[in-house]
Amino acid sequence: QGLCFLAPLLSGEGCSLVLKPSRVVVGFGESVTVSCEATRPVRVLGWESAISAVHTQEDQSVQWKVDSLIDWIEEPICYGVFFTAPRQCEEKLNLVLYKTPDSISIRQANHSGPMVEGKEYQLLCEVQNIAPVQYLTLRWYRGQTEVYQHSFSDLTSSSPVQVSSTLVITPAIAENDAEYKCVAELELGPEGPQPPPSLASEPLAVSKPKNSGAEITLNCTATGNPAPVYSWQSPHLIEERMKAEAVITSSSLLPGRYTCTASNTLEKKSKQFIIKEQIKGRGKMYEWLIFVLFFFVFSLRCKLDHLCR
């Protein structure tokens, strides 16, 4: 006589099955043993799994045992068929098979050679073959200081994957040279190894932006009566404090065109400066050249003397 269990399988509290331990964290290739115990008389007790499936007749416990777990399998399920209702139930094992990355590396993503102050650059950290990615945290360090943390908890994959993380940096002349590195850490919970397994990249040296070190002076001084006021225009940012000065002095001006306008109530004149980057010899020496395109000797003299007094 065939028998069909149409009732949904119970799991959780109503299920008289206890897994010991209930959550296991296993390193790739390690052995694992979990026992499933029935808390009331059971007819059949077994493990449903792609590996080491097993069942017993009228035993109160059954073990799921793998000597070297290297398969990215679905979580095994312990099931019981009982003499009394509920006749059948099951309990899923919370199984985490983890693998530390094969490698982790860091590089400049879209640039090589010296950096220019004030520009954005991307550093890329790549992690090969890590599992499960949802437990991974990538930590970025500048020297000893953690500067950014990238979590992958929104991803789900039990088998190994490759992931990457990008850090955007804006080098400043005022900073020192720095070493960046990224560290992959698998935080697997209390059942996992302590401290959490981690792997660090080789450090990446990032030199501070290079220029000759010399200051550049752009002198737009004009004479006039009334005294002229100044303004500067450039595709690059000009520090706020210098925007209305006659003379700009800085060691961090980027190459490009700088236009100064001197004006008073009577006249307006402009002067352009072009800063070019010069690569010297074979080395990485950078020097700055200033080209003054148009040079006006400003003379914003008051033409109607009586109006200017």
Ligand X SMILES: *[C@@H]1O[C@H](CO)[C@@H](O)[C@H](O)[C@H]1NC(C)=O
Tell me the closest approach of the beta carbon of residue 62 to ligand X, in angstroms: 56
Return the number of the residue (153 or 217) whose C-beta is nearest ligand X.
Answer: 217
Distance of CA 106 to the CA centre of its chain: 11
Q: State in angstroms the smallest separation of the CB of 121 from ligand X.
A: 5
Nearer to ligand X, 15 or 216 (CB): 216
Distance CA 228, CA 224 (A): 6
Closest distance of CB 120 from ligand X, Å: 4
CB 291: neighbour CB atoms within 10 A? 10
Cα→Cα distances 184→15, 37, 106, 193, 197, Å: 39, 37, 12, 15, 8
Buried b (16+ CB within 10 A) or exposed e, 8-31: eebeeeebbbebeeeebbbbbeee
Please count the other Cβ atoms lying within 10 Å of the Cβ belonging to residue 174: 10
CB-wise, 123 or 184, nearer to ligand X? 123
Closer residue to ligand X in complex, CB, 22/219? 219
Nearer to ligand X, 57 or 217 (CB): 217
Query: How far is residue 14's CA from residue 43's CA, in Å, rounded to a whole number?
Result: 17
CB of 159 to ligand X, least distance (A): 31
Around Cβ 121, how many Cβ atoms within 10 Å? 16
| Closest distance to ligand X from the beta carbon of 113 (Å) | 9
Do residues 151 and 190 touch, judged by C-beta distance below 8 A?
no
Q: Which residues neighbour 45 within 8 Å (Cβ) at sequence distance 6 or greater?
A: 17, 36, 38, 55, 56, 59, 60, 61, 62, 78, 79, 80, 81
Beta carbon nearer to ligand X, 68 or 219? 219
CA distance 237 to 203: 31
CB of 220 to ligand X, least distance (A): 8
The residues of the shown chain that bind ligand X, judged by CB under 6 A, are 110-111, 120-122, 217, 219, 221, 247
Tell how strand 94-98 and strand 23-27 pair up. Answer: parallel
How near is the Cβ of 296 to ligand X at its closest, in Å?
11
Task: Name which of 138 and 222 has its Cβ closer to ligand X.
Answer: 222
